[in-house]
Amino acid sequence: MKPRVAIFDLTSCDGCQVEILNLEDHLLDILGKIDLVNFRIGKEVKEPGPYDIAIVEGSVSKEEEIEKIKKIRDDSKILIALGTCATHGGLQSNIHFMDENEVKKAAYNDKHPQQTRDIKAEPLSKYVKVDYSIRGCPIDKWDFVKVLKQLLIGKLPKEDNNPVCVECRFNENVCQFEEKGKCLGPMTHGGCNAVCPSNNQPCDGCRGPLEDLNLKAGIRIMKENGVSDEEILKMVRKYTGVDELYNKIEELVKNGNN
């Protein structure tokens, strides 16, 4: 019997699922080894659980999604969070730090009916146990292949705990602290081949903070380089601001030179 695998989405842009489709021929190889029983954007099939592996994209942003993710969890042996929306709430979790009415007005303006929002965007882990996170906005499609291969041989993959800086150095990039005075690379999980600094952009931390990050030092260096408090907060909150490791960020930014 092939393992039953289901891919679901909550509030998201579908971008991480599109990355899976971008595997093209490799995806056909994978499909030969699994029984794909749910994948809204990729296959016309929608079977009920139980599932051996559930892969979930998107943040929990509506009441009905709380029930949906709990049901998926109950139905699944292994639950994988796919992409930053699922692992950290993603871009939409900025709503935690903004005036909700202004956001609605900017998004829908006065001419359109405003959508009601019951809860603020949260990662899956706020409501259910997550067995493994495939990080990034979007994910790296090869990360998905690597993780699925490990799961298919009965192993839960181990997380790489290196910062983005490691891959950045391998790529011999000029450091963004020299170029722009800011970068979240030293505090952020690597695995993306330092794609942003390699294209002359600071890392915005989409893969989430390292558990042993030195937040105080990172903030102090950015402040010494003339980056404003507002800009530091905006960078940190862009994708993963609801992570509890950033709980004290406002206080630290305010006292960053102490």
Cβ distance to ligand SF4 smaller for residue 168 or 249:
168
Residues 225, 221: Cα–Cα separation, whole Å: 6
Residues 134, 143: Cα–Cα separation, whole Å: 7
Cβ distance to ligand SF4 smaller for residue 138 or 241:
138
Question: Cβ of residue 50: shortest distance to ligand SF4, in angstroms?
Answer: 25
Question: Cβ of residue 121: shortest distance to ligand SF4, in angstroms?
Answer: 10
- Residue nearest to ligand SF4 as judged by C-beta position: 185
Contact between 134 and 82 (Cβ < 8 Å): yes
Cβ distance to ligand SF4 smaller for residue 12 or 38:
12
Residues 187, 217: Cα–Cα separation, whole Å: 10
Cβ distance to ligand SF4 smaller for residue 13 or 27:
13
Sheet holding 76-82, edge to edge: 43-46, 35-39, 4-9, 51-57, 76-82, 132-134
Paired tokens of 92: 């939409």
Question: Cβ of residue 210: shortest distance to ligand SF4, in angstroms?
Answer: 11
Question: Cβ of residue 165: shortest distance to ligand SF4, in angstroms?
Answer: 3
Chain residues in the site for ligand SF4 (CB under 6 A)? 12-13, 15-16, 57, 83-85, 90-91, 136-138, 164-165, 168, 173, 175-177, 183, 185-186, 188, 192, 194-197, 203-207
Contact between 54 and 72 (Cβ < 8 Å): yes
